[in-house]
Structure 1
Amino acid sequence: MSQSPMPFDIQQLDDELVLEYLQSDQDFFNRHPQLLTSLQLPDNRRGTISLVERQQQLLRQKVQLLEEEITDLLTVANQNDRLLTIFNDLYLNLIEAHEFSPFCDYLQQTTRQLLELSDVRLLLFNTEQNLSHEILITGVDSHQYADRFGADNYYFGRLTTAQQLQLFPDEQSGSCCLIRLQHQQQDIGLIAFFAKDVEHFYPGIDTLLLEQFRHLVAKLIVTKFLTTT
């Protein structure tokens, strides 16, 4: 006497079991092609759609995302080309400046244009030369900003009230970039950029162009204006 098959409880199925089965049996839809068009899936805009339509929808979304990524990459590339051109022009002007005042003028004007800054400051430590310019600050102890740098050569973010009053007394809220200037492993000062946008400077900014910038500026300052004869 044959035994009747035990009834199958569909509630025993879960998403993982169904997913595992479909992944293990890749010919399932080849054996049941009618499911591709007969199965109806909920859609927020069209009510219900078939599996084929859902796949086309996902592919269109993927293509759109790829197009957006390509557009973003092209935008960044164009911005980098622009930055590189401005930096190159700045380097030439700084190299050709034999007086401290025009050197600082180029530094101030170009970096404000380049980085959309509100203000720029140049701090020099332990200098005995009689140098002056509106962006120059002297008489600052080299350890005063050590907590901002730590082991890094850059700081991006907010300053303490005392530091902001010393560097940018006319500014209110905003964000700052501090760039360590070193020559032959010795700290000679720093450059400070200030932007009114509190999110303009933030941790994690790419420093590739800034690294070359800080080395060149430090070397030019030492060789042109701090070397005693």
Structure 2
Amino acid sequence: MAHDPMTPITEDDIANYLVNSPDFFERHAQLLASVQLTSPHGNRAVSLQERQAEMLRDKIKALEHRIMDMVRHGNDNMVISDRVHRWARALLLVTSSRALPATLVTELQNQFMVPQVALKVWEVDERYREEPFAQGVSEDARAFATSLAQPYCGVVTGIEAVGWLEQPDTAMSLALIPLRAGAVNGVAPAFGMLVLASPDPQRFEPGMATDFLERIAELASAALSRLRPR
């Protein structure tokens, strides 16, 4: 369709023409060498070929950064996975059910370098009801643990579980991990809760991924089921 000579040609008209005329630069090959563009790395003019090369280098550099990020995250995940493995192995080696909660807490602190860890378990077998880990939990705290469908990370004040820590005043960020039979997001009521605390406000920040904390919750719940009535 012929262009109306009374209508000004727009940039879109030129772009559409070039897109729909792939042989244009074959007929006018000299234009490719004469086209000058502004470099993104300064105000100097560069040829079309040089501009394309710069764009390609930028894309390659961006891909390299993405690959490096993926490798770094993969290595970080492998380290965490190894720590979860060592922690779970330590739980399996505990022969005394009475010593299991203390081992669980100590190994969490050592393997994951968490400054403070507290654990409370309720509805335990009568043999363990006088143990420190089964004492001092109110009905409100039990209901709060049951209300958690997944580990909670962030800053929490004014809840009972913070008082389970040896130094609650130093806790600037917390991970609250409900313990229940089956999946951490299941419908079973919680029978315990783990509290991980750090003086670093960003250690357990809101919005962080909780995949590994969920694995810890399910492994801890399975191990501590030995304390519950048969």
TM-score category of the 2 structures, normalised to the smaller one: 0.7 to 0.9
Higher RCO structure, 1 or 2 (CA under 8 Å, sep 6+):
2
Query: Is 1:96 the equivalent of 2:98?
Result: no
2:23 aligns with 27
- Structure 1 residues 217, 165: closer, same or farther in 2, change over 3 A? closer
Q: 1:201 aligns with which of 200, 204, 215?
A: 204
Alpha-carbon shift at residue 33 of structure 1 (Å)? 2.8
Q: Note the alpha carbon deviations across 1:12-70, whole angstroms, 9 max, x for none.
A: 514x4444333333333333333333222222436111111111111111111111111
Unmatched 5+ residue regions in structure 1?
none
Distance 1:59 1:90 in 2: 47
Contact 1:83–1:114 (CA under 8 A) maintained in structure 2: no
When normalised by structure 1's length, the TM-score is 0.77
Contact 1:125–1:138 (CA under 8 A) maintained in structure 2: no
2:45 aligns with 48
Q: 2:154 aligns with which of 150, 153, 157?
A: 157
- Structure 1 residues 173, 39: closer, same or farther in 2, change over 3 A? farther
Query: Is 1:36 the equivalent of 2:39?
Result: no
1:131 aligns with 131
- Structure 1 residues 109, 69: closer, same or farther in 2, change over 3 A? farther
Q: Note the alpha carbon deviations across 1:65-94, whole angstroms, 9 max, x for none.
A: 111111111112222222222211111111
Query: In structure 1, what residue type is equivalent to 2:82?
Result: T
Q: 2:116 aligns with which of 105, 116, 119?
A: 119
- Structure 1 residues 144, 8: closer, same or farther in 2, change over 3 A? closer
Unmatched 5+ residue regions in structure 2?
183-187
Q: Note the alpha carbon deviations across 1:98-117, whole angstroms, 9 max, x for none.
A: 33575344433433344442
Q: 2:72 aligns with which of 75, 80, 95?
A: 75
- Structure 1 residues 76, 101: closer, same or farther in 2, change over 3 A? farther
Query: Is 1:220 the equivalent of 2:223?
Result: yes
Contact 1:156–1:202 (CA under 8 A) maintained in structure 2: yes
Alpha-carbon shift at residue 177 of structure 1 (Å)? 1.6
- Structure 1 residues 113, 119: closer, same or farther in 2, change over 3 A? same
When normalised by structure 2's length, the TM-score is 0.76
Q: Secondary structure at the match of 2:131?
A: coil
1:182 aligns with 180
Query: In structure 2, what residue type is equivalent to 1:174?
Result: M
Contact 1:122–1:137 (CA under 8 A) maintained in structure 2: no
- Structure 1 residues 208, 173: closer, same or farther in 2, change over 3 A? closer
Distance 2:206 2:198 in 1: 15
Query: In structure 1, what residue type is equivalent to 2:27?
Result: R
Query: In structure 2, what residue type is equivalent to 1:22?
Result: L
Distance 1:24 1:103 in 2: 74
CA-based RMSD: 3.0
Residues 197-206 or 60-69, more deviating: 197-206
- Structure 1 residues 6, 24: closer, same or farther in 2, change over 3 A? closer
Query: In structure 2, what residue type is equivalent to 1:189?
Result: G
Distance 2:48 2:135 in 1: 68
Residues 186-195 or 112-121, more deviating: 112-121
Distance 1:197 1:17 in 2: 58
